[in-house]
Amino acid sequence: MTTTVGTTTDPTTPVAQGSALWPAQARASQVFGRQLVISRAEGSFIETEDGRRLFDGTAGLWHANIGHSRPELARAAYEQMMNLETYHTFARFTNDRAAELAEMLAEVSPIPDPKLILNSGGSDAIDVACKLARRHWQREGRESKQIILSREFAYHGLHAYGTSIAGLEFNREGYGTESLVPETARVSFNDPEQVRRAVAEIGAENIAAIVTEPVQGTGGVNPPTEGYLETIQELCRENDILLILDEVITGFGRLGTMFATERYGLQPDLVTFAKGVTSGYAPLGGIFVSRRIWEPFFADTDDAPIFRHGSTYAGHATAAAVAVEHLKILRDEKLVDRVRELEPTFVKDLEDLARNNPEVTEVRYAGLLGGVTLREGVAVEKVCDRMIDKGFISRPLRGNTLQVSPPFIVTEQELTDFLAAMSEAITEEAAA
């Protein structure tokens, strides 16, 4: 039902009378009555309440890396809750599982000798990282360094800072200002010289940090163009700008290395993480902080500065226990190595798809992360609907692109079947 300006939606319409749960990232009227209620899952497959079994070709929202319903993680959560569900980590207090997890993460850190800030997810981590970047420069007495640069098409969650640095403009629209946090600006996602010009125009003395995904996810699965990340890092070093890598998607093996920093040879100041630290079994994220940033805050003096971060569930004991068990599974089952071993087959299948289906204009990939872009006029949303009918899940991304990011436990045959179903769905939709 369409209403006129100044009125509210009729509360008796079917949409308004639907579920009390507000759907995320959707126009309610377009999903009401069509939502898939997921009731169980196992391995690389999920099942709906009405009995459909679907291959999870997106690993949920890029996170179900070790597959669904692992009993080891259920036991870890149960045993921890029976002992201590959680306790906060403010001031003199901490809990043993948060401390254990921090030490384990420090051992695999993409940053040498880090400190860890734990929280509840990727959006939290971005908020804290951007605040810490500004806090660093204020502590240094360089008050003008406040602006956070990010890339066009970037996605960094939807908290206030993540919304403000979003390179997907629709995520910043509708709040009354161009950016919720005004000291932000976007730069080119693939042209390092444009970034260099932007730094010169804004003035390095005004820029606190550049934040970037090593491989853009929601923006369309965009691996870095040759020399892009290296130039960004060089610009940061030359101009005293902090480099923040958002590894919420790429961290913990998605690219065939534990972190993308290894694959691309980077040395960031801050690294955010989330999804892959627990494979989604518990909401947990955080930040690796380099010595350059953390050391002054740990000075053994009465006037050492304080960084006012923290939330009730930062270092949640049960989430930490799940993460510890999850990291053991990654290690013991050599799943990061498995991603590296699967990548050649993954790349070949994607390139075969592009070569054999004229509706595909481009495929992009790194590790087990892929994007399939369709020609204008073939709607990815409808292709995704057709894929569900065939028993497979993909997801529409920016640029008329289909997401491909299966769990690490996927078999070569499952990958082949998934992309074959995608090709069929694309062809059918193009002919409709």
Residue 424's identity, in one-letter code, is E
pLDDT of 2 strictly over 70: no
Q: 394-398: long-range contacts at Cβ-Cβ below 8 A with a sequence spacing of 24 or more?
A: 394/57, 394/58, 394/422, 395/58, 397/217, 397/218, 397/219, 397/220, 397/221, 397/371, 398/153, 398/168, 398/218, 398/219, 398/220
Tokens of 192: 């390092």
pLDDT score for 17:
72
- CA-to-CA distance for 408 and 413, rounded, in angstroms? 13
pLDDT beyond 90 at 65? yes
Count other Cβ atoms within 10 Å, centred on residue 43.
18
pLDDT digits (tens, 9 = 90+) for 148-165: 999 999 999 999 999 999
Task: State residue 214's pLDDT score.
Answer: 98
Q: pTM for this one?
A: 0.95
Concatenated DSSP letters of 363-417: EEEETTEEEEEE-TTS-HHHHHHHHHHHTEE--EETTTEEEE---TT--HHHHHH
Residues 6 or more apart whose CB falls under 8 angstroms from that of 379 comprise: 400, 429
| Beta-sheet strand order (sheet of 184-187) | 115-119, 285-289, 270-273, 242-246, 207-212, 147-151, 184-187
Rounded to 5 degrees, what angle do the CA atoms 415, 421, 425 make?
145
CA distances to 23, 47, 389, 419 from 36, rounded to whole Å, are 12, 9, 12, 22
Tell me what pLDDT residue 4 has: 35
Percent of the chain exceeding pLDDT 70 equals 97
Percentage of residues in the chain having pLDDT higher than 90: 92
Rg (CA), the chain: 22
Q: Kindly tell me if the per-residue pLDDT of 94 is higher than 90.
A: yes
- Domain architecture of the chain: domains with CATH: 36-66+334-431 (3.90.1150.10), 71-332 (3.40.640.10)
Higher confidence at residue 204 or residue 4? Answer: 204
pLDDT value, residue 15: 72
Of 18-32, 176-190, 228-242, 361-375, the range with the lowest mean pLDDT is: 18-32
Q: Span 288-299, mean pLDDT?
A: 98
Name residue, tokens 């007495």.
141
Q: Are 295 and 36 in contact (CB under 8 A)?
A: no
At 146 the pLDDT is: 98
Tell me how far apart the alpha carbons of residues 37 and 28 are, in angstroms, rounded to a whole number. Answer: 15
pLDDT band for position 119 (cuts 50, 70, 90): very high
